[in-house]
């Protein structure tokens, strides 16, 4: 077991124990934001036949200059399947998406023509191939549509629907159990007595787990349960659980409730303690294919631990790389404390025309929740960093890059 290691080492140790979960077939209508388990290839050309890109006239070979005249030989509807070929100087009226007859050199939009006594007069020069969608032009038969590990977004849903796929094989959602080890934390629906607090970490983790593609399958308050009994209960859950997240509990003389549970489960400890503020008492272990994570009980520290470690585990279990995005930004208001250890300062980042900016949010104590509201980035301050001045460049970790908006924009 490793103790008091750097954050990057902790991430590597966890990454080495996380592989993609099995796949499961689900209806395409329920697959939004899920991760593909296997690559998907085109079963046929798209479009399947050569089609018109506009309403107008398919032109046979011949002069396509202004004033050129064509004999109108057919009028095709969308459901028409032409069994003839256009010859030189012939034309056929077509609809957008309609199948083109053989011999079509180009399609001229209807508004660029004049029809006179079964003759089509072209009112502008048309280059060969204009307004023709060739069979397989979008995707050829056998071509790659979507790679394994691709998130099913709006474009993927549209593409798979066009091909008539009703089911898709996605990575199974990670199942996560959350166990609170603090003996003074109660369910959010209960009325606290002296010294008690309603649980905020459980609902917070549930929201984060759902956002990151997992499912919280149970929330347990085990602070008053002896470690060996809690471990016995856990043993029954491990077959249906991929990650167990513990929050809170005591940590004295290098030992913790988490360490006792790990021993009782006969699990293997990966590390205990990371050089990080807040959340230095974070730990990790594994048993069989289940990852066990011990996060801080303080709300802000719990959130920091989750974003930097637990989220990566969830992502890798879904076949994603689990990388973070670190960039430079200008700190608009500064941070008055010296950082003796590596410190993650909660901030709100945005993009402006002059580059990235970040504001240090109020309420930076580990026990305070204020700094989590509007937090979308951490200022990553190395150990020994002096107080940060307003206007100083800092390194930030973007937590939700897809949600970053341009300052002043809705």
Give the pLDDT confidence score for residue 24 in this predicted structure.
97
Residue-averaged pLDDT of the chain: 92
Neighbouring residues of 408: CB distance < 8 A, sequence distance ≥ 6: none
User: If one looks up domain 51-133 in CATH, what number appears?
Assistant: 2.170.190.11
What residue spans in the chain does CATH classification 3.90.105.10 cover? 23-45+144-171
Give the pLDDT confidence score for residue 406 in this predicted structure.
45
What residue spans in the chain does CATH classification 3.40.980.10 cover? 2-19+172-317
Does residue 63 have a pLDDT over 90?
A: no
Over residues 345-385, the pLDDT tens digits come to 999 999 999 999 999 999 999 999 999 999 999 999 999 99
CA 74 – CA 72 distance, rounded (Å)? 6
Neighbouring residues of 355: CB distance < 8 A, sequence distance ≥ 6: 328, 329, 330
- CATH tag for 2-19+172-317 (out of 1.20.1260.10, 3.90.25.10, 3.30.310.80, 3.40.980.10): 3.40.980.10
Over residues 22-42, mean pLDDT: 97
Asked if residues 335 and 379 have their Cβ atoms less than 8 Å apart, the reply is yes
The CATH fold of domain 325-403 = Beta-clip (2.40.340)
CA 277 – CA 346 distance, rounded (Å)? 11
Does residue 319 have a pLDDT over 80?
A: yes
What residue spans in the chain does CATH classification 2.170.190.11 cover? 51-133
Does residue 252 have a pLDDT over 90?
A: no
What residue spans in the chain does CATH classification 2.40.340.10 cover? 325-403
Does residue 404 have a pLDDT over 60?
A: no
Does residue 65 have a pLDDT over 90?
A: no
The HSE-up count of residue 282 (CA atoms within 13 Å, CB side) is: 29
Closest CA to 288 of 274, 267, 309: 267
Level-2 CATH architecture, domain 23-45+144-171: Alpha-Beta Complex (3.90)
Over residues 294-310, mean pLDDT: 96
Give the pLDDT confidence score for residue 87 in this predicted structure.
94
Give the pLDDT confidence score for residue 409 in this predicted structure.
40
CA 265 – CA 236 distance, rounded (Å)? 11
Determine what percent of the chain is predicted with pLDDT higher than 90: 81
Over residues 215-236, the pLDDT tens digits come to 999 999 988 788 788 888 889 8
Neighbours of 171 (CB within 10 A): 22
Does residue 102 have a pLDDT over 90?
A: yes
CA 228 – CA 243 distance, rounded (Å)? 19
Give the pLDDT confidence score for residue 250 in this predicted structure.
58
Chain centre distance of CA 145: 19
The radius of gyration of the chain's CA atoms, rounded to the nearest angstrom, is 31
């Amino acid at each position: 077991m490793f103790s008091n290691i750097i954050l990057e080492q902790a991430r590597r140790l966890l990454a080495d124990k996380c592989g993609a979960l099995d796949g499961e077939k689900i209806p395409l209508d329920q697959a939004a934001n899920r991760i593909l388990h296997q690559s998907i290839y085109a079963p046929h050309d798209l479009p399947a036949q050569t089609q018109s890109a506009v309403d107008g006239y398919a032109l046979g070979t011949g002069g396509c200059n202004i004033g050129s005249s064509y004999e109108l030989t057919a009028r095709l509807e969308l459901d028409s399947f032409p069994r003839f070929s256009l010859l030189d100087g012939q034309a056929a009226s077509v609809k957008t998406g309609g199948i083109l007859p053989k011999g079509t050199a180009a399609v001229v939009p209807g508004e660029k023509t004049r029809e006179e006594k079964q003759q089509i007069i072209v009112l502008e020069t048309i280059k060969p191939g204009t307004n023709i969608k060739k069979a397989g032009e979008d995707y050829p038969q056998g071509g790659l549509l979507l790679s394994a590990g691709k998130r099913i977004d709006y474009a993927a849903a549209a593409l798979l629907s066009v091909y008539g796929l009703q089911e898709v094989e996605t990575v199974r959602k990670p199942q996560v159990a959350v166990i609170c080890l603090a003996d003074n934390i109660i369910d959010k629906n209960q009325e606290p007595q002296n010294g008690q607090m309603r649980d905020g970490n459980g609902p917070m983790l549930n929201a984060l787990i759902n956002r990151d593609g997992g499912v919280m399958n149970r929330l347990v308050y085990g602070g008053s349960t002896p470690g060996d009994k809690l471990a016995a209960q856990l043993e029954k859950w491990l077959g249906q659980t991929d990650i167990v997240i513990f929050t809170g509990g005591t940590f004295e003389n290098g030992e913790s409730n988490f360490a006792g549970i790990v021993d009782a489960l006969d699990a293997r400890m990966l590390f205990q303690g990371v050089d990080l503020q807040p959340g230095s008492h974070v730990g990790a272990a594994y048993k069989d294919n289940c990852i066990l994570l011990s996060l801080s009980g303080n709300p802000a520290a719990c959130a920091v631990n989750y974003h930097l470690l637990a989220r990566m585990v969830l992502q890798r279990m879904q076949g994603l790389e689990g990388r973070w995005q670190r960039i430079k930004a200008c700190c608009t208001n500064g941070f008055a404390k010296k950082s003796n250890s590596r410190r993650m300062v909660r901030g709100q980042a945005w993009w402006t025309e002059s580059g990235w900016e970040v504001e240090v949010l109020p309420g930076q104590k580990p026990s305070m929740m204020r700094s989590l509201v509007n937090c979308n980035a951490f200022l990553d301050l190395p150990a020994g960093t002096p107080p940060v001045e307003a206007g100083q460049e800092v390194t930030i970790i973007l937590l939700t890059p897809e949600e970053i908006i341009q300052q002043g924009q809705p």
